[in-house]
Amino acid sequence: MPEQSGKVQTVLGLIEPGQLGRTMTHEHLTMTFECSHVPPAPGDEGLAAAPIEMKHLHWLQQNPYSHSENLLLNQEIEAVKEELLCYRKAGGGSIVENTTTGITRNLPVLRKLAKETGVHIIAGAGYYVDVTHSDETRKMTVEKLTDIIVSEVLHGADGTDIRCGVIGEIGTSWPITESEKKVLRATAHAQTQLGCPVIIHPGRNKAAPGEAIRILQEAGGNISKTVMSHLDRTLFDQQELLEFAKMGSYLEYDLFGTEMLNYPFNLDVDMPSDSQRVQALAFLIREGYEDRILIAHDIHTKHRLTKYGGHGFSHILKNIVPKMLSRGKPTD
Ligand SMILES: CC(=O)NCCS(=O)(=O)O
């Protein structure tokens, strides 16, 4: 891809890497997450159907996936625009928008937000997890899927001329389904043609990140230009984390701001606090992985926007970076 080579492809066109500024590598600005709805606990049906109000915020923070309206981030374009303006004021430059086919990618909205806020937005090509694959997607060959992903980057996606700049987030479940394996192989083939970065959403099991990387590797993917997302809810044991890090992908802690006692998608998971995330990063830095770490908030529901009492897109810049600086270098 000679035109794009060495550049960053945003929804408004190509920029130099030096223009990116501080970048959140895993966010959503508009999407729907109905595919992950969790039925409310008996007795909570009223809360789950009630409008979002201050008095319900704690319940919502603990049960974000049980409130149907909370899963419709696509209804909050104005609030997201305000947030992006604050993000710029806080020193933010760019956002990688990870919404792929299956969770309502909206490229015209991303282009509008980029124009109106000055934040560089990089859109994601490809497909989310199996439950969102259409019958048509399931029937496609790896070659057809590859062509579509390549076209989303080279020509534009969803019937528009707006081009994606990365592949992902590519969704995988646990165990990885046959349809997801095809998409992973197509992702690797598209990456070989394009040379662009890939972002993977792993299933909620400690074996999931390694298995996804193995499939990409076998299909010829460039692991050094691949991001493994959501490690903060997936890999907890330090030795297992180091084993995974050795495979060579970027290591992404992208759920900053999420504090939840019972993680409904895997009740065995103890979702870490932000302090624990910072400690995990300090560990990786001590082990020599400073250049392989990426961080973000992965905002994908309404309640995490400041409009609804959430932490917003500036939480890392305003709160996490000062916390890290107060801890000093891990070797100090
Ligand atoms: C949009 C998305 O996939 N976010 C990740 C949610 S999860 O609970 O960490 O899988």
Q: Please give the backbone phi and psi of residue 213, each rounded to the nearest 5 degrees, phi first.
A: -65, -40
39 lines ligand 1 (CB under 6 A): no
Give one DSSP letter per residue of 47-97, joined into a string.
HHHSPP-GGGHHHHHH-GGG-GGGGBGGG-HHHHHHHHHHHHHTTEEEEEE
Q: Under a CB-based contact definition with an 8 Å cutoff, are residues 28 and 110 in contact?
A: no
Ligand 1, atom 3, lies closest to the CA of: 201
pLDDT digits (tens, 9 = 90+) for 301-311: 999 999 999 99
Q: Is the pLDDT of residue 107 over 80?
A: yes
Residue 257's SS3 state is coil
Q: Is the pLDDT of residue 2 over 80?
A: no
pLDDT digits (tens, 9 = 90+) for 38-82: 999 999 999 999 999 999 999 999 999 999 999 999 999 999 999
Q: How far is the CA of 210 from the centre of ligand 1 (A)?
A: 18
Pocket residue to mutate for ligand 1, from 228, 300, 301, 302, most atoms within 8 A of Cβ: 300
233 lines ligand 1 (CB under 6 A): yes
Ligand 1, atom 7, lies closest to the CA of: 230
Give the model's confidence band at 330: pLDDT under 50 very low, under 70 low, under 90 confident, else very high. Answer: low
Structure confidence at residue 328 (pLDDT):
82
Give one DSSP letter per residue of 180-218, joined into a string.
HHHHHHHHHHHHHHH---EEEE--SSTTHHHHHHHHHHH
pTM for the structure as a whole? 0.97
* Residues in CB range of 69: below 8 A, 6 or more apart: 51, 52, 75, 302
Structure confidence at residue 80 (pLDDT):
98
Task: Please state, for a pLDDT cut of 90, what percent of the chain lies above it.
Answer: 97
Half-sphere exposure of residue 301: CA atoms within 13 angstroms, side-chain side = 26
> What amino acid occupies position 300?
H
The two tokens of residue 238 are: 């330090």
Q: In whole angstroms, what is the distance from residue 322 CA to residue 329 CA? A: 12
Tell which residue, 52, 53, 49, has the closest CA to residue 68: 49
Q: How far is the CA of 239 from the centre of ligand 1 (A)?
A: 24
230 lines ligand 1 (CB under 6 A): yes
β-sheet bridge partners, residue 226: 198
- Mean pLDDT (the chain) is 97
Q: C-alpha 302: how far from its chain's center? A: 15
Q: Which residues are annotated as a binding site for a divalent metal cation?
A: 26, 28, 169, 201, 230, 298
Q: How far is the CA of 204 from the centre of ligand 1 (A)?
A: 9
Q: How far is the CA of 156 from the centre of ligand 1 (A)?
A: 25
pLDDT digits (tens, 9 = 90+) for 145-155: 999 999 999 99
67 lines ligand 1 (CB under 6 A): no
Q: How far is the CA of 262 from the centre of ligand 1 (A)?
A: 14
Q: Is the pLDDT of residue 130 over 80?
A: yes
pLDDT digits (tens, 9 = 90+) for 191-206: 999 999 999 999 999 9
Instruction: Determine the atom of ligand 1 nearest the C-alpha atom of 265.
Output: 8
Q: Is the pLDDT of residue 1 over 70?
A: no
Pocket residue to mutate for ligand 1, from 104, 201, 205, 262, most atoms within 8 A of Cβ: 201
pLDDT digits (tens, 9 = 90+) for 262-297: 999 999 999 999 999 999 999 999 999 999 999 999
Give the model's confidence band at 331: pLDDT under 50 very low, under 70 low, under 90 confident, else very high. Answer: low
Ligand 1, atom 9, lies closest to the CA of: 230
